[in-house]
Structure 1
Amino acid sequence: MTVTAKTKRNIFLVWLLLVPAGLWFTYQTYPPNFSGQWLDIAAFLILTFVVAFMPMVINNTPIFLIQWVSLATFLTFGIFVEMVFAQAAVIVLLLRLRLQKDQLFRIPLNLIMFFLVSLVSGVVYYALGGQTTPTIVNNLHSLSLAAVYAVVNYFLNQVIISFYLYYIYKSKGSYFGKDFIVETVTTFITLPLGFVLYMFYNQQGLLALLIVAIPFASLSMIFKLYYASENINIYLQKAAEIGHQMAEKLEVDGVIDLFIQKLSEMLPVDYAYIFDVANEEDLKLVRRIQGGDTELPLNIPIIKKNQGISGHVWSKGKAQLYSTGMQWKRYSIGYIPGDAESILAVPIQRNKKIIGVVMLASKRKRAYEKFQLVIVDILCSYFAVAMENAKHYELTKKQSERCALTKLYNYRYFKKLLTEEFDKIFHFEQKVLSLIILDIDHFKAVNDTYGHQSGNEILCELAARLTNIVGSRGTVARYGGEEFVVLLPEVDKEETYQLAEMIRQSIANWPFTLMQSLELTQQQIKITASIGIATAPEDAEDALALVRHADRALYVGAKRAGRNKVAEYIK
């Protein structure tokens, strides 16, 4: 929820025009009368500060249980003192939450709300005949008026919060959710404390504040511990779900992208870095997030062991949590942006061996809690397993799809790809599909003369030449023996012929170097190749026909015509 700069300026302006003048008006209209009870006022103010300093945070929303103290303060000292205390309590609470610079507008925003709530609920109370320091014991009328004040105070507070959410924060979510229910229940549970405090104070003096404050502090701690444990359980459930999702990914890039994405959704992440242990001394940055975009890092220097934050985490094998930039900037080597504040860095371990480091950074101070470090550590364990599985899968897939000698795609992969590309023609997803089949001329003679190892060298060098010439225009595969194929989606016959002629010339005009010939000396030999081409749907109506017709062009149009030629299929 983003608030515009113009709206923030308007909020400060409204506060400046409304609250100081409103306080002065309240002082003049309802002057306080406490007859030198400065010690009592100071005690109530301290209690207000203590309650404001101990909010319950549920779903990242602070629940401010100050109403019961405000009720006792209002009944004891009147509307002006209660209003001033409420303003002070807001400032203490927001300072306790450590607002960032861009969130400072929340101070005047909340001061306006509490001023209006105090003013309206107090005016309603006095208008109905309520008095300061009423006798509410055995006086149903006074007790009812105090209850009306408390109810008006609470519901007006909710109305203004709802207004803020819809018109200032532009929130489209439902307001009456879990947070609202919890706050309503806890508020009405603690409101009787306000009546008890007021009655005890009238009977026991300042001792009453101590008697009531201790149970409240205990209750607040119980609530805080309960919701903290519930929050941890939610994080653990999310971590388990993310672990299962990563285990389903079969590619390394997919695992990395999902890992970073889920971390960014769980935690406040402005920058994220994943490092891989390249060798015994070097960390290599393999992925990062900056500005919300995942990118492959370029021109990032290798990080040495014990160098920078990630290097220290690697060497020590322990996670690190920094709450402010002052704590970590002496370790940084410059790749973390200067506006980062909080940092969480965790080693990625597999079988008790560190294989990488993940580092998260936020522009907010104290953005991460200690239990979140444990959650990230658990996720790193899932990540390490998922990465290992994905690497095994990719290796197995590569071995099943690639020629072990030339590293080109094999016949099995080519056949599958040809079928997929031909289906695109039938579904009108592409217009043409061309095929080049290449066969080395007199390759048996090369093997007989120079040896099979030299023949393998020629096949490897030819594979490299084909890959460089074709580039991204198509797919090169080894068809079998000394035959190669090039599949060219969206390349017409004329352009295919030109590409095939370029391939033919690159073979015939540049000799091949043999490093391990039978002569035991480095040699250069010249070879030639015959090439056949065909294009669908012009020359073939199905995938097998395209291969058959390109093969016919190779043997009838090129081989029989003298070899070292490019021939196209002719019906």
Structure 2
Amino acid sequence: MVVNARMKKVIFLVWLLMVPAGMWFTYHTYPPNFSGQWLDLIAFLLLTLVVASMPMVINNTPIFLIQWVSLATFLSFGLFVEMVFAQAAVIVLLLKLRIQKDQLFRLPLNFIMFFLVSLISGAVYYLLGGKTGPELISNPHAIWLAATYAVLNYFLNQVIVSFYLYFIYKSKGSYFGKDFIVETITTLITLPLGIVLYMLYNQGGLLPLLLVGIPFVSLSIIFNLYYSSEKVNAYLQQAAEIGHQMAERLEVNGVLDLLIEKLSEMLPVDYGFIFDVVNEDELHLVRSIKGKCKELPLNMPRIKKNEGISGYVWSKGKAHLYSTSKQWKRYSTGYIPSDAESVLAVPIVRNKKVIGVVMLASKRKRAYEKYQLMIVDILCSYFAVAMENAKHYEITKMQSEHCALTKLYNYRYFEKLLTEEFNKLYQFERRVLSLIILDIDHFKAVNDTYGHQSGNEILIELADRLSKIVGSRGTVARYGGEEFVVLLPEGNKEEAYQMAEMIRQAIANWPFTLQESLELKQHQVKITASIGVATAPEDAEDPLALVRHADRALYVGAKRAGRNRVAEYSSC
């Protein structure tokens, strides 16, 4: 959630006008109730700061169990002392959360919230007849007043937080989520304990404070550890789901894109890089992001082993985490921008061999935790398996769809593509579709004269010429034997005829070079081709008809007419 610069200035201005003057007003209106109890004050302050230093972060919202200490402080020393301790707790909390410079506005924002909560709930308590240092054991009315103060304090806190989320952070999500439920439950549990703490302190001094305070601090630690483990479990579950998603991707680029996308969603990633090990001696950048959306150029220098952060991770085969730029600047090879601070680098390992490196960077200091390093390591394991599967699939797919000799698409792929293009014609996504079929004239004589290997050389060179002539305007495939087809989406009959004539001339006017003929010496061979052209929907209404009519134009209009010519299909 982003807060604009104008709002940040308003927050600082409101704090400057409200909190210092409000603290002065509180001190004179509700003066502190202590005389020489400095040791007691220090003990309560330390307890407050210790609890504040152990927040739970749920859905990016910090929750800390300080209500019970604040209640005991308020009942013991009055509103002003509780207010000062609350402000100190805010400082410790935000230091613990390691807020960055662009988040410093949260300090006055929280000062304002805690000041208002303390002032209003304390003022209501005093207006209802409440006093500092009440005798709770023999006075049920005082207990009800203390409970009223505690409930009002919590209610005001929730109202102000929801106001902040809606008007300052512009959050549209539901406020009554998991963090609200957790904070409400912990408040209900700990506030009665705050009353007990006050009663014991009021009866026995600092020793009960120590005896009761230690279990309370332990409770905060237990809650913190519990929700930290729950957060790790949530990350692990998310990593498993991402692993399944990567396994379902059958293309290398799809797996790469998914990993980058999911890492950017899970972690604070401003810059990300995926390197691939090439020829066992250097890393090549295959994917990168900047600002979670823009790709960085991939034509950067390759990295050797022990060179830069990624090269070092590759060499050692171990993940590394850097919290600030001072820790990694001297190792950088120029991939990580100068405004980055935190860096996380993890090797991609498959069969105990490093096959790549993932490197993430954030502009925030201490943006990554050690458990996040573990999560990325797990994702890299899933990624390595998914990449291997995708590469095998792509190789298998290419072999099943391409001619092994000419590397052109084969008949199976052409048949599928032709059906897809006709479906587009039926759905009016295509206006016209043309097909060119060519057959090499007297190809058997070439094989008989120079050998089948020389015939293969001609087929390979012809495939190369066809690919260059057609380019991106259509698809070239080997139809079988010495026959080739060219499919031209959105190519009308005139355009198809012109391309067919260009192909015919490129075959007839430039001889083919044979490197391995039967005579064991280089030969220049001239060949020709007969070509047929048909167009849909003008000449055909289905795929088989288009192929049949182009083939008819080839044999009737070109072959029988003397070969080395282009013929259009005609129904006449």
Asked if Structure 1 and Structure 2 have the same fold, meaning a TM-score greater than 0.5 normalized by the shorter chain, the answer is yes
Match of 1:436 in 2: 436
Shift of 1:535: 0.6
Q: In structure 2, how many angstroms separate the alpha carbons of the residues matched to 1:319 and 1:326?
A: 18
Give the match for residue 490 of structure 1.
Answer: 490
Residue type of the alignment partner of 2:133: T
In the TM superposition, what is the alpha-carbon distance from 1:295 to its structure 2 partner?
A: 4.2
**TM-aligned CA deviation for residue 337 of structure 1:** 1.7
Asked whether the equivalents of residues 530 and 565 of structure 2 are also in contact (C-alpha less than 8 Å), the reply is yes
CA contact (8 A) 2:288 2:295 kept: yes
> CA–CA distance in 2 between the matches of 1:226 and 1:547?
69
Tell me the secondary structure at the aligned position of residue 531 of structure 2: strand
- Cα deviation, residue 362, structure 1: 1.9
Equivalent runs, 1:284-295 vs 2, <5 Å: 284-293=284-293, 295=295
- Report the CA distance between 1:90 and its aligned residue: 0.6
Counterpart Cα distance in 2 of 1:293 and 1:202: 59
1:43 corresponds in structure 2 to 43
> Residue 453 of structure 1 aligns with which residue?
453
Written as runs of structure 1 = structure 2, the 5 A alignment for 1:401-440 is 401-440=401-440
Alignment of 1:106-145 (within 5 A): 106-145=106-145
Q: How many residues align?
A: 571
2:547 aligns with: 547
1:92 shift after superposition: 1.2
Q: Deviations over 1:386-415 (max 9, x none)?
A: 111111111111111110100000111111
Corresponding position: 1:301 with 2:273: no
**Cα contact 2:287–2:298 (8 A) shared by 1:** no
Q: Which moved more, 1:440-449 or 1:101-110?
A: 440-449
* Deviation for aligned residue 1:150: 1.0
Native 8 Å contact 1:257 1:294 kept in 2: no
Q: Is the 8 A contact 1:32 1:78 kept in 2?
A: yes
Q: 1:295 to 1:562 in 2, by over 3 A?
A: farther
Q: Distance in 2 between matches of 1:515 and 1:286?
A: 38
Q: Which residue of 1 aligns with 2:313?
A: 313
Cross-structure match for 2:14: 14
How far apart are residue 208 of structure 1 and its match? 3.2
Partner of 1:76: 76
Q: Which residue of 2 aligns with 1:381?
A: 381
* Alpha-carbon distance in 2 for matches of 1:465, 1:213: 85
One-letter amino acid of the structure 2 residue matched with residue 36 of structure 1: G
Question: Corresponding residue for 2:240?
Answer: 240
1:467–1:476 Cα contact (<8 Å) kept: yes
User: Counterpart of 1:308 in structure 2: which amino acid?
Assistant: G
SS in 1 for 2:276: strand
SS of corresponding position for 1:32:
coil
Partner residue of 1:372? 372
Q: Bigger shift: 174-183 or 56-65? A: 56-65
1:508, distance to aligned residue in structure 2 (A): 2.1
CA distance in 2, matches of 1:177, 1:477: 58
Task: Report the CA distance between 1:297 and its aligned residue.
Answer: 4.5
The 2-side partners of 1:309 and 1:524 are apart by 55
Determine the structure 2 residue equivalent to 1:165.
Answer: 165
In the TM superposition, what is the alpha-carbon distance from 1:98 to its structure 2 partner?
A: 0.5
Q: 1 CA distance for matches of 2:363 and 2:510? A: 58
Q: Deviation at 1:47?
A: 1.8
Is the contact between residue 421 and residue 489 of structure 1 (CA under 8 Å) also seen in structure 2? yes
Mapped to 1, the partners of 2:51 and 2:131 lie a distance apart of 26
- Contact kept in structure 1, 2:286 and 2:298, CA below 8 Å: no
Letter paired with 2:407: K
3-state SS in 2 of match to 1:304: coil
Q: For the Cα contact (< 8 Å) 1:87–1:111, is it kept in 2?
A: yes
> Which consecutive residues of structure 1, in runs of 5 or more, have no partner in the other structure?
none
Higher mean Cα deviation, 125-134 or 497-506?
497-506
Separation of aligned partners in 2, 1:7 and 1:306:
47
Contact 1:466 1:503 in 2 (8 A): yes
Native 8 Å contact 1:47 1:209 kept in 2: no
What letter matches 2:47 in structure 1? Answer: L
In structure 2, give the amino acid aligned to 1:168: I
1:323 counterpart residue number? 323
Preserved contact between residue 272 and residue 360 of structure 1 (Cα < 8 Å): yes
- 8 Å CA contact 1:341–1:364 kept in 2: the answer is yes
Q: Give the deviation of 1:322 after TM superposition.
A: 1.4
CA distance in 1, matches of 2:296, 2:76: 65
SS in 1 for 2:331: coil
d(CA) in 2 for partners of 1:497, 1:14: 78
Provide the C-alpha distance between the structure 2 equivalents of 1:23 and 1:100, rounded to a whole number of angstroms: 27
**2:398: which partner in 1?**
398
Matches within 5 A, 1:177-188: 177-188=177-188
Q: C-alpha separation between the residues in 1 aligned to 2:25 and 2:153?
A: 19
Query: Secondary structure of the equivalent of 1:289?
Result: strand
Kept in 2: contact 1:348–1:380 (CA 8 A): yes
Deviation at 1:474, TM superposition (A): 0.9
Structure 1 distance, partners of 2:5, 2:295, is 30
> What fraction of aligned residue pairs are identical, expressed as a percent?
80
Tell me by how many angstroms 1:328 deviates: 1.5
CA deviation after TM superposition for structure 1 residue 498, in Å = 1.6
CA-to-partner distance for each residue in 1:186-207, whole Å, 9 max, x for gaps?
A: 1121112322232232233233
What amino acid sits opposite 1:498 in the alignment? Answer: Q
Paired with 1:384 and 1:225, the residues of 2 have a C-alpha distance of 32
Once the two structures are superposed, residues 473-528 of structure 1 have per-residue CA deviations (whole angstroms, 9 ceiling, x without a partner) of: 11100011111100011111111122222222222222222221223223333222
| Alignment partners' CA distance in 2, 1:411 and 1:162 | 64
Q: CA deviation at 1:459?
A: 0.8
| Pairing of 1:551-570 with structure 2 (within 5 A) | 551-570=551-570
**Distance in 1, Cα, partners of 2:50 & 2:329:** 34
Alpha-carbon distance, 1:370 to partner: 1.3
CA contact (8 A) 1:401 1:412 kept: yes
State whether residues 33 and 76 of structure 2, in contact with CA within 8 Å, keep that contact through their aligned partners in structure 1. no
Structure 1 segment 267-282 matched on structure 2, within 5 A: 267-282=267-282
Determine helix, strand or coil for the equivalent of 1:137. Answer: coil
Which residue in 1 is equivalent to 2:148?
Answer: 148
Distance 1:269 1:499, change over 3 A: same
Instruction: Give secondary structure in 1 for the equivalent of 2:563.
Output: coil
1:326 counterpart letter in structure 2: K
- Rounded to whole Å, the distance in 1 between the matches of 2:298 and 2:70 is 58
Report the Cα offset of residue 139 of structure 1.
Answer: 0.9
| C-alpha contact (below 8 Å) 1:287/1:294 kept by paired residues | no
Given the superposition, is the C-alpha separation of residues 294 and 398 from structure 1 closer, same or farther in structure 2, using an over 3 Å criterion? farther
1:66 pairs with 2:66: yes
Distance in structure 1 (CA, Å) of the matches to 2:379 and 2:411: 40
1:207-230 CA-to-partner distances (Å, cap 9, x unmatched) read 333222211121111112211222
Which residue number in structure 2 is paired with residue 504 of structure 1? 504
Q: Is the 8 A contact 1:121 1:149 kept in 2?
A: yes
SS in 2 for 1:293: coil
Matches within 5 A, 1:460-479: 460-479=460-479
Contact 2:65–2:220 (Cα < 8 Å) also in 1 = no
If the length of structure 2 is used for normalisation, what is the TM-score? Answer: 0.96
Contact 1:349 1:355 in 2 (8 A): yes
